């Protein structure tokens, strides 16, 4: 039999990458019964790790980020990011689930987040966290959901950045890749302006592609420990990778 803990960690990885999963498809993928997966999902929902929906489950933000040995990939990656952050830093942040986890983990470390994402500002503003929030302003680009500016470098220069945290859709060793041009423009400006840049993402996106590129200088990659070819020489901090094969190792 598979070890339930390993299987459930793998389920979490899939949820964080895909957003939702189907019970029957996951059972086929792992070679277990539908009932086994349903039992997993019931237990994981009870622990606040996911939300069950008809026929499967979907990703939710962690309800408890205080557990040091959390099985969630988003919490593990966010903890590595937070080790780079000191109180009072000014940080460029993108609109993604990882940013929200990072903000929660920093509940005792007040920082300033600057972002062109109105959705991120709306989510963090009412939250019980001590952070200062700066909106870049501009015209809303509905496709990307961010506030577009003709010269993002000028805006960011007004708020010296200690750190930029980027979570692109894809990567190559010198560029972060995004689905929309304004996202790439802001990312390039933030990487250029900040004293340090962290690229934080599951390893599965490292070889993904997207049409718009942000050129990167020196950066540190925060990801899982199965780096693809071409990324071996990039400074990286990693968490253990859990794959379907690693679960199958426990089959007998």
For the chain, the domains span: 4-60, 73-239
Residue 4 is predicted with a pLDDT of 78
Residue 248 is predicted with a pLDDT of 46
Through-space distance between the first and last CA atoms of the chain, rounded to whole angstroms: 6
Residue 250 is predicted with a pLDDT of 36
Please provide the CATH number assigned to the domain covering 4-60. Answer: 1.10.10.10
Contact 185, 214 (CB under 8 A): yes
Residue 203 is predicted with a pLDDT of 87
Instruction: At 239, list the tokens.
Output: 């968490």
The closest alpha carbon to 204, from 187, 229, 188, 223, belongs to 223
On the question of a common fold for 4-60 and 73-239, the answer reads no
Instruction: At 89, list the tokens.
Output: 């830093």
C-alpha 196/C-alpha 192 separation (Å) is 9
Residue 102 is predicted with a pLDDT of 94
Contact 224, 239 (CB under 8 A): yes
Which residue ranges in the chain fall short of pLDDT 70?
A: 1-2, 64-68, 243-252
Q: Quick one: three-class SS letters along the chain?
A: CCCHHHHHHHHHHHHHHHCEEEHHHHHHHHCCCHHHHHHHHHHHHHCCCCEEECCEEECCCCCCCCCCCCCCHHHHHHHHHHCCCCCCCEEEECCCHHHHHHHHHCCCCCCEEEECEHHHHHHHCCCCCCCEEEECCCEEECCCCEEECCCHHHHHHCCCCCEEEECCCEEECCEEEECCHHHHHHHHHHHHHCCEEEEECCHHHCCCCCCEEEECCCCEEEEECCCCCCCCCCCEEEECCCCHHHHHCCCC
Residue 128 is predicted with a pLDDT of 77
Report, in angstroms and rounded to the nearest whole number, the Rg of the chain calculated over CA atoms.
19
Q: Which residue has the tokens 């060793």?
A: 173
Q: Which CATH architecture has domain 73-239?
A: 3-Layer(aba) Sandwich (3.40)
Residue 243 is predicted with a pLDDT of 67
Contact 191, 164 (CB under 8 A): yes
Contact 177, 208 (CB under 8 A): yes
How many residues make up the chain in this entry? 252
């Amino acid at each position: 039999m598979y070890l339930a803990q390993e299987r459930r960690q793998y389920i979490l990885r899939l949820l964080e990458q895909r957003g939702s999963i189907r019970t029957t498809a996951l059972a086929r993928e792992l070679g277990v019964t539908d009932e086994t997966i349903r039992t997993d999902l019931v237990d994981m929902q009870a622990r606040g790790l996911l939300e069950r929906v008809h026929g499967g489950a979907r990703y939710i933000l962690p309800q408890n980020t205080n557990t040091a040995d959390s099985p969630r990939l988003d919490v593990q990656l966010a903890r590595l990011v937070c080790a780079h952050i000191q109180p009072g830093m000014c940080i460029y942040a993108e609109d993604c689930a990882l940013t929200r986890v990072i903000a929660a983990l920093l509940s005792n470390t007040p920082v300033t987040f600057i972002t062109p994402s109105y959705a991120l500002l709306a989510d963090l503003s009412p939250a019980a966290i001590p952070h200062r929030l700066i909106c870049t302003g501009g015209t809303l680009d509905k496709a990307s959901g961010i506030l577009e500016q003709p010269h993002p470098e000028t805006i960011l220069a007004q708020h010296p950045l200690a750190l930029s945290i980027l979570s692109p859709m894809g990567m190559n060793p010198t560029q972060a890749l995004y689905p929309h041009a304004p996202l790439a423009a802001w990312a390039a400006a933030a990487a250029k302006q900040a004293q340090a840049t962290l690229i934080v993402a599951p390893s599965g996106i490292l070889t993904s592609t997207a049409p718009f590129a942000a050129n990167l200088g020196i950066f540190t990659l925060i990801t899982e420990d199965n780096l693809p070819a071409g990324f071996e020489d990039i400074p990286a901090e990693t968490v253990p990778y859990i794959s379907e094969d690693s679960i199958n190792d426990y089959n007998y």
